[in-house]
């Protein structure tokens, strides 16, 4: 994805508990100012979330023009198709049209895990890695981003594969560890079985493990015994904002 030297962008990451936004230095792959965070409204309906997105843009002093926006959903051609971890009212919503109407700015909308994966491939743990890279975010659910030679294959949703007779993210996400009171060893055993499943499907050259639990990788990463090399995510909770801004900058450049 091409970008001009000295370029900047703006990204907003919609999460289950908070909606976060910041300007991004696209040369360094880092936030250019402190992020603005506003609690995610409950219920997180399209109208309520769009109101908060508008507030984040205003409070952060975002420039006009295209900005990046993540959602925890499959997004195809600007339309939301799933709602595994957000309000069901999102399904079928033309989020690009809705956000542009509310904010006066056109968003480049992307799945949240895909945004994180693009950021890790450009700036983080998967930088300069050729071949097939799988980025997994282990959090409330399991998000996935699949990249081939740095190019994104969008909306893979590998957290919804079946594992041990249940949906994988219900078994091996960080929230499952908390909910069931699993030890690091017990949880790592589930993650290992999940990684072996996706390895049989994709044979990745590298797997990057992200989400909030990546900050504690010293407690569990060494417990995993799988074929592909593993790395903890480098950009952590900023990856979604950075990836969204990067994707938005690429779309703006192509339109220009």
Cα separations in angstroms, 156 against 22, 40, 139:
26, 25, 17
Residue 16 is predicted with a pLDDT of 85
The whole-model pTM stands at: 0.92
- Residue 50: name the closest of 7, 80, 9 by CA: 80
| CA pair distance 192, 209, nearest whole angstrom | 12
pLDDT of residue 145: 98
Question: Nearest CA to 86 among 99, 95, 96?
Answer: 95
Assess contact for 118 and 143: CB atoms under 8 A.
no
In 3-state terms the chain splits into helix, strand, coil percentages (rounded to 5) of: 40, 25, 35
| Whole-angstrom distance, CA of residue 130 vs CA of residue 122 | 12
Coil, helix or strand for 67?
strand
Q: Alpha-carbon dihedral of residues 197, 199, 202, 207, nearest 10 degrees?
A: 120
**Buried-state track 218-234, b at ≥16 Cβ within 10 A, e below 16:** eebbeeeeeebebbbbb
Domains of the chain (ranges plus CATH)? 8-114+238-255 (3.30.420.40), 129-233 (3.30.420.40)
Six-digit token string for 9: 């962008």
Residue 138 in tokens:
């282990």
Residues 6+ apart with CB under 8 A from 244: 11, 12, 13, 67, 68, 69, 70, 108, 110, 115
Rounded mean pLDDT for each run of 10 residues along the chain, 256 residues in total: 66 93 97 97 95 97 94 95 90 97 96 97 96 96 96 96 96 96 98 98 98 93 98 94 96 46
């Amino acid at each position: 994805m091409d970008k001009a030297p000295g370029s900047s962008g703006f990204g907003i990451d919609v999460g289950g508990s908070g909606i976060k936004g910041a300007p991004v230095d696209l040369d360094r792959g880092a936030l250019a100012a402190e992020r603005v965070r506003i609690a995610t409204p409950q219920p997180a309906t399209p109208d309520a979330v769009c109101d908060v997105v508008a507030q984040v843009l205003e409070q952060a002093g975002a420039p006009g023009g295209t900005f990046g926006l993540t959602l925890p959903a499959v997004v195809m051609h600007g339309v939301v198709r799933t709602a595994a971890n957000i309000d069901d009212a999102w399904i079928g919503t033309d989020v690009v049209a809705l956000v542009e109407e509310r904010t006066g700015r056109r968003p480049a909308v992307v799945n949240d895990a895909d945004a994180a994966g693009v950021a890790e491939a450009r700036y983080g743990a998967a930088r300069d890695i050729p071949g097939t890279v799988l980025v997994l975010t282990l959090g409330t659910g399991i998000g996935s981003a699949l990249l081939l030679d740095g190019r994104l294959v969008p909306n893979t949703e590998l957290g919804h594969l079946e594992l041990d007779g249940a949906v994988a993210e219900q078994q091996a996400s960080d929230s499952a560890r908390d909910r069931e009171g699993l030890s690091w060893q017990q949880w790592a055993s589930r993650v290992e079985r999940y990684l072996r499943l996706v390895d049989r499907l994709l044979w990745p050259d590298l797997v990057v493990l992200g989400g909030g639990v990546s900050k504690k990788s010293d407690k569990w990463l060494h417990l995993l015994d799988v074929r592909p090399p593993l790395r903890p995510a480098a950009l952590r909770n900023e990856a979604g904002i950075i990836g969204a801004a990067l994707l938005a900058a690429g779309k703006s450049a192509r339109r220009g």
